[in-house]
Each structure stands twice: as C-alpha cells, then as structure tokens.
Structure 1
Amino acid sequence: MTDPSRDDPVDRAPAADATDDDSVAPDDPASEPAVEDDSTANPATDPSATAPNDSPAVAVAVALALGVLGPVLALLGGQGLFLVDTAVGGLPLAVYVLLTLIVGQYVAFGGLAVGYLAWRGFDRSGIVSYLGVRRPSLTEIGLVVGGWVVIVITLLVVSSVVQLLGAETASNQSAELAIQNPTIIPLFVVAMFLVVGPCEEILYRGVVQGRLRESLPAAPAIAIASAIFAFIHVMALTGGVSGRLTTVAILFFPSLVFGAVYEYTENLVVPALLHGLHNAVIFTLLYVTVTYSDELQEMAEGGAALLPL
C-alpha cells in the first residue's frame, strides 16, 4: 500500500547529504538571494508616503494658515508694486494690472502652494500627482459646463433671497477697476483662465482642500476649504462689514461647487477651468453692460460682487 506521506511536495526533493558542508537545503531562506522590495513608496513622488499622521484639528489649522498666508503674501507684493509704480511716476494701467496678477497670483498663491509641497519633500512629479494635474477628458469638460450652470442657478436663488431680506452686499475691487476702465476688461477675461483660475485652485483646492482630505472625509474637507476660500475675499471687497460678510456668504456656494468638482474628478484642471469660466463670464457681462448700456451698469456692479477672485 502506498504511503500517503510521499505525496507531500517537500518529500519529493532529493535528500541533502548531511556530510556535505557545501550543500544547503532548497527551502532554506539563506539559499535565496535577497530581492529588493520595489513596493516601498517613494516620498518624493507618492502622496500617500508623506501624508501626515495627525489629528483633524491640526489639518484644519494648517489649511487655515495656508489659506490666509496666500492673500497676505499677495497684499505684500501689491504694496511692493505700488512703491515701484510711485517711484517710476506711474506705470500704464494694463502693465500695472498684469504685474499685480503675476505677483498676487503666480508668486503668492501658486508659489506658496508649490513651495509648501516641496517643503514636504515632493519632487516635480510628486507635486503633479498630489494636485492631480492632467488633461481633462470630454466628460470633465462637460462637468465644467454643468458646474457653471449649477453655480449660476445657485447664485440666482441665493441673490434673490438676499434681496428679499434687504441685506446689502459689497463690491469687488477688481470689478470696480474694470467698470471704471472698460478697456482692460479683455485682459481680465483672459487672466481668469490663465492666471486666476489655475493659481487660486492650486492653493485652495489642490493644497488647502487636499491637506484637509488627508485627515477628514470629503464633505467636511470641501466645506472647510470653501469657507476659507470665501472668507479671504474680505480683503478684496469694499464696503461695510455687513456687506462684506453677506458677500462672503454668497461666495461660499460657488466655492462648494469648485470643491465638489475637484473631489469627484481628482483633476485640478477641471475646477481651474470652471473658476476661470465663471469669472470670465461675469467680466464679459460687465464689459457689455458698461460699454453698451448705462441703464444696466448698476446691475453690473451688483453682479461684480459675486466674483470669487
């Protein structure tokens, strides 16, 4: 009768000669060459490898600090440009606006976002991966258009409620400048897509919301990032305190759409395009109303307050 133990694969291996010092059992781990584990995450390229292991409170504090520091740097840069403008006897308006956008957006917002991620140890590819920067698909382009429609409908409803309550709103400084100088509005329209949308979304969706998502679920992370983004617009508004707070509350709603679109697509280009489209449409309407219809100028000024610049 056959011994069942002989069916064991281990028993099929030839027995090693106990007297042969050079022989090693086949199943001895020492006989197998060490293989380098390629699965180890690279902190410079893998976002999960450098995710801080901290509490939600710390994540909120860091996000708030980054969200406030961006506008502070922009204000400091603006003061520097003002000194330069004064020293040279006045720059052309278009040049001054362009320099303000470059310093306030690319340097302050974009520079802060990239600098923070570089400080955390990400290299270039790691930063791109963390932010989620890629060419949008046709579906994502459709989300840009659909998101803009949602924003418009939401703002119409919210603005109607604000008017029924008799609450005052504030004005946006950039929009006021555009109304007073309609010839620079085309520059603003282009800048919304190439400067403002990308730079503000890099900081407030890519870094602020991204940092919150490392410690919080999607819903609270989007809400907190949107609140920070809306609140910092106090610095860009003119008018009384109540008017500024009302406008900040209104701006919270398009911010939610930006954040939700980013969370859904994980592609920073999508909210950047949506942000740019929303602002560009408002500036285009400003140009039309200011240039061709004095009767609608008051309406244009009211809509200008809703710019999430």
Structure 2
Amino acid sequence: METQNDVSKSKTGVREVSLSVGSAVALTAIGVIAAFASIIIVDPLVGIIGTEWNLLGELLQGYIVQPGFGLIAACYIRWRDDYNPLDRVQKLSVEGIAWIGFIPIGYEVAVRAVTPVLPMVGLSHSTHGGTAKWRVFLDHPEIIVPGLVIMFAVMAPMEEILFRGVIHDTLEPAIRAPGRVLIGGLLFGGIHLFFSGGFVSILFTSILGVLAAGAYERTKNLTVPIMAHAGYWLIFLPI
C-alpha cells in the first residue's frame, strides 16, 4: 500500500533522487572501508582472546568486520540531530515475529532453489562462513551465552543499524518504498564482493538484503532484521 509520502516521492526531481542514492552508496563505501580497518584492528585482539579462550576466539573470528559497520553507524547517529535509528529498535509485533521466521527460511529456500541452476550458466556456489552456530553450541555449551550475546546483541545490531537504520534512511527522502527495498538490498549484497567475492555471493546476499529491507520497510522496527540476521547465523550458515 502506498503512503502519502510515497505518492509525493513520485514528483521528486532527478537531483533529489541522485542525492539520496548517492548518499546511500557513499555510506556503503565508507562502511566497506571501515570494515577493512576493523579487520586490521580487531583481528589481533581476537587472536589475543583466542589464546585465553580458543572457542570464543574462533567465534569472534567470523565477526571482525561488524565493528567497522558499527563505527560508521555511530558516527551517523552523532551527526544527525533529527534522527536516531536506535529509536526504531522496538518491541516485536506479530507481523515482526513472522518476518523474523520468514527471512532466514525464505533466504535458504531461495539459495537451495537457485543453486542447482548455477552450473547451467557456468557459475557455482560456495559458502564463506563456516559452520552453523547451533552445531558449535551443541558441541560446546559453555559458549552458548557469550555466543548468543555476541551475535544477537552486538554484531547483528551493528550491521543492521548501518544498512537498514542508516543507509535505508538516506533513501527515504526521495525514493519510494519498492525502490528503497531494492536499492538497499543490492547495496547490502554488493559489499560482499569485497568480503567473499564473486557474482553468486552478491546475488544471494542481495536476496537476503531485499528480504531484510522489505521487513524493515513494513514494520519500521530494526529489531526484526537484527533478529532475523542473527537467527540465520545461528540456524543455517554465517553470512
């Protein structure tokens, strides 16, 4: 359903659209740079943690880019006086809970449906994350609590606050809802060129990005993509 704001956006000029999309692209690029800086800074710290608690170090090793995303989100929040994406971390509605279940399952179904087709066009798919975390927790219950805190309360929020709360927000002034969902999803997928590489990785993570952006657009609640993103890490394979 179109809102009054979306109707008004149909009359928005090329300059406003270009500025909105350009801002989203620029923030995405800055996020990528910050993520690489995070790898340089965080990786040695994770190594130190790993010498004391090997399992926790291995867990953290999969999330060394998120602090960079979180830094950019924090800078944006400080810069903006009239908008704080943290205000959209809210209690869940029934629809929000449904989206949390649908996003990881829908993504996994899409991946399984498309994967057999890839060899027909000369492509292949290989994951870049490792083992689903529930298997790790099952084997090592002593890291369940810190692991869940790291995924659900720290790393997934850092990533989603940047891509849904911040980058999605920059598209709102001039782009209608379907465009925001598509552009935001593609930008999220595009960053994986630098972290996992390959067209297939971009394709699949763009699907996830579109699902997360669609859920956020519907609910205006950042808790939904945060929980869905961390839930995928937990149930299926890390993204």
Q: Give the TM-score of the pair, scaled to structure 2.
A: 0.76
- Cα deviations by residue, 1:146-177 (Å, 9 ceiling, x for unpaired): 333322322222222224434123441x427x
Contact 1:143 1:261 in 2 (8 A): yes
Classify 1:189/1:161 alpha carbon distance in 2 versus 1 (closer, same or farther; 3 Å). farther
- Which residue of structure 1 aligns with residue 84 of structure 2? 127
Letter in 2 for 1:261: A
The count of residues paired between Structure 1 and Structure 2 equals 220
Q: Say whether 1:219 aligns with 2:178.
A: yes
Unaligned stretches of 5+ in structure 2?
1-14
- Which residue of structure 1 aligns with residue 100 of structure 2? 144
Secondary structure, aligned partner of 1:175: coil
1:188-199 map, 5 Å:
191-199=150-158
1:62-211 map, 5 Å:
62-83=23-44, 92-97=53-58, 104-105=65-66, 107-122=67-82, 126-128=83-85, 132-172=88-128, 174-175=129-130, 191-211=150-170
Bigger CA radius of gyration: 1
Percent of aligned pairs sharing the same letter: 22
- Which residue of structure 2 aligns with residue 59 of structure 1? 20
CA distance in 2: counterparts of 1:127 and 1:193, whole angstroms: 20
Contact 1:114 1:127 in 2 (8 A): no
Classify 1:280/1:222 alpha carbon distance in 2 versus 1 (closer, same or farther; 3 Å). same
Q: Give the TM-score of the pair, scaled to structure 1.
A: 0.60
Unaligned stretches of 5+ in structure 1?
1-53, 284-306
Which of the two has greater helix per residue?
2
- Which residue of structure 2 aligns with residue 253 of structure 1? 207
Classify 1:185/1:223 alpha carbon distance in 2 versus 1 (closer, same or farther; 3 Å). farther
Q: Which has the higher contact order (CA 8 A, sep 6+)?
A: 2
Classify 1:103/1:161 alpha carbon distance in 2 versus 1 (closer, same or farther; 3 Å). closer
CA distance in 1: counterparts of 2:187 and 2:116, whole angstroms: 24
Contact 2:16 2:174 in 1 (8 A): yes
Give 1:87 shift: 8.9
